[in-house]
Amino acid sequence: MAETPFFPAWAALEAAVEQHRAGIDQHPALPTTTTEEIREHLSTNYKFGIPVDAKHLIEDVASLLRDGMVHTTHARYFGLFNPDIQPIAVAADAIVAAFNPQLAAYSHAPGPNEIERHTLDLFRRALALPEGGSATFTSGGSEANHSALIAALTAKVSDYAETGASGRPTMYASAEAHHSLVKMAHACGIGRRAVRVVPVDANLAMDPAAFRRIVTDDRAAGASPFMVVGTAGTTSAGAIDPLPAIAGIAAEEGLWFHVDAAWGGAACLSSRLRPLLDGIERADSVTIDAHKWLSVPMGCGMFFCRDAAHTSAAFGIQTAYMPSPVEAPDPYLNTLQWSRRHIGLKLFMTLAALGLGEVTARIEHMADVADRLAFGLRAAGWRVVHHSPLAVVTFTHPEVVDLDSVLQHVYREGGAWISKTVLTGHGAALRACVTNHRTSAADADALVEILERAVDQVPRTELIEPTPLAD
């Protein structure tokens, strides 16, 4: 080591991270400070006048985060799609920050760009997409969906690239699809109403017959259908749209077929779960979020496009100031971002350090724990509304009208975190997702007990016995 280390406070950083990780599962899963307390602390201690000592700063920030966030890495965080993380992925993010490679132009960072290509190709093959496409890391699923929309509009709507949307381009997604699609339709200038909502069946999966009918009606009414999004693992319930049927209709109707597999896409690595994604290989483009089910820190999304010509048509540009193109494609000419962080290193290092066998075993373990949870909930009198093979369980209680009061009891106890959602055709439901590979069968059983305690404390309706028919 050099005489003067680059960062003398490494030891403080290491101590803060080790201490946090050692205590995480015993710590409340929810924030313990109030917004007023946090603001007061910041305005008193951080006027940015006198420099703060790095060791002190690290310790103070660690304490602010420890008390001021929902702990997504907690073993009893049955939450939104936020996983626990790997130590090696933390190391990866630190190396990226320290070396600060710029991936925009290939020639600026051949090493990092090849690491990303190599990693993305593993997923391309698992998805069974052909060679000759393009793939990129994104900030997350929203950017990947945005990329899909731009590529689809450029490919399917004439003049979109040069003069913007004309006519009435319309796209199709199920009632349970992610709302980033609506934001991105707005951002792309086709308007939020361009997203046509296709009804779902009782299993919360898109109804393909309804999809076809709406496309026909829209054409008759003068709209220009250009894209359909199938979701493989909906955000609320982990439902899977019928991808082969949607692919078939998309082909007949000449629509771009995007699969949003932000959460569920990780299942492509498991031979047991991969059949759930059948039909994804027919997609024109695919979204997968590594920062959801693959245990890497945010943000780490992936966008795959079947034909690289479409991404270069969507994102190509000419400049005088960027380095001249070399033999490999320049990311800034084929993707939405310009300056580009080495996002993919944390996934590469996680796969390398754990091995594919372990990564896959963890995904299957999380699905198994969710199965156990669904079983335990049913045994305790809950009604499971939807039980996804992708580790998401949504449920209600026949005697509880106000699910919010159950949620408040769970939060007040503080030892676990779940959420609430509304499912098309079913109404409000509680939602538990196993996102942490350390979450065990015992944690699932503990959640059932926490929920039973909560139910004991909230107002309940009598179960109404069906009245016998008078004769």
Ligand X SMILES: *Cc1c(COP(=O)(O)O)cnc(C)c1O
C-beta of 231 vs 337, nearer to ligand X: 231
Count Cβ atoms below 10 Å from residue 236 Cβ, excluding itself: 23
Q: Which of the residues 299 through 338 are near ligand X (CB under 6 A)? A: 301
Count Cβ atoms below 10 Å from residue 19 Cβ, excluding itself: 13
Interface pick for ligand X out of 231, 311, 334, 360 (rule CB under 6 A): 231
Interface pick for ligand X out of 73, 82, 235, 350 (rule CB under 6 A): 235
Interface pick for ligand X out of 136, 180, 350, 435 (rule CB under 6 A): 180
The C-alpha atoms of residue 66 and residue 84 are separated, in whole angstroms, by 15
The amino acid occupying position 5 is P
Nearest distance, CB of residue 142 and ligand X, angstroms: 3
Size, binding site for ligand X by CB under 6 A: 14
Residue at token pair 């449920």? 395
Q: Which stretch binds ligand X (CB under 6 A): 67-75, 90-98, 255-263, 322-330?
A: 255-263
Nearest distance, CB of residue 261 and ligand X, angstroms: 7
Tokens of 121: 């190709």
- On the CB side of 339, how many CA atoms lie within 13 Å of its CA? 2
> Is 79 a binder of ligand X (CB under 6 A)?
no
The C-alpha atoms of residue 373 and residue 393 are separated, in whole angstroms, by 8
C-beta of 16 vs 266, nearer to ligand X: 266
Sign of the CA dihedral with 112 first, then 116, 122, and 124 last: negative
Q: Which stretch binds ligand X (CB under 6 A): 247-255, 257-265, 372-380, 435-443?
A: 257-265
Q: Which of the residues 89 through 118 are near ligand X (CB under 6 A)? A: none
Interface pick for ligand X out of 126, 188, 262, 444 (rule CB under 6 A): 262
Q: Which stretch binds ligand X (CB under 6 A): 117-125, 135-143, 154-162, 441-449?
A: 135-143
> Is 238 a binder of ligand X (CB under 6 A)?
no
C-beta of 260 vs 371, nearer to ligand X: 260
The C-alpha atoms of residue 194 and residue 402 are separated, in whole angstroms, by 35
- On the CB side of 442, how many CA atoms lie within 13 Å of its CA? 2
C-beta of 211 vs 382, nearer to ligand X: 211
> Is 176 a binder of ligand X (CB under 6 A)?
no
Residues in the chain: 471
Specify the DSSP element, H or E, that contains 143: helix 141-156
The C-alpha atoms of residue 211 and residue 227 are separated, in whole angstroms, by 12
Nearest distance, CB of residue 191 and ligand X, angstroms: 20
Nearest distance, CB of residue 297 and ligand X, angstroms: 12
Integer angstrom CA distances of residue 62 from 58, 178, 297, 470: 6, 33, 17, 68
The C-alpha atoms of residue 58 and residue 53 are separated, in whole angstroms, by 9
Residue at token pair 């693959």? 294
> Is 289 a binder of ligand X (CB under 6 A)?
yes
- By beta-carbon distance, which residue lies closest to ligand X? 141
C-beta of 284 vs 289, nearer to ligand X: 289
Find how far residue 447's CA is from the centre of its chain: 23
DSSP letter string, 96-115: HHHH----SSGGG-HHHHHH
Tokens of 312: 């270069």
> Is 386 a binder of ligand X (CB under 6 A)?
no
Nearest distance, CB of residue 294 and ligand X, angstroms: 12
Q: Which stretch binds ligand X (CB under 6 A): 116-124, 136-144, 214-222, 345-353?
A: 136-144
Q: Check: CB of residue 417 under 8 Å from CB of residue 75.
A: no
Interface pick for ligand X out of 178, 341, 362, 387 (rule CB under 6 A): 178
Residue numbers at the binding site for ligand X (CB under 6 A): 81, 140-142, 145, 178, 180, 231, 235, 260, 262-263, 289, 301
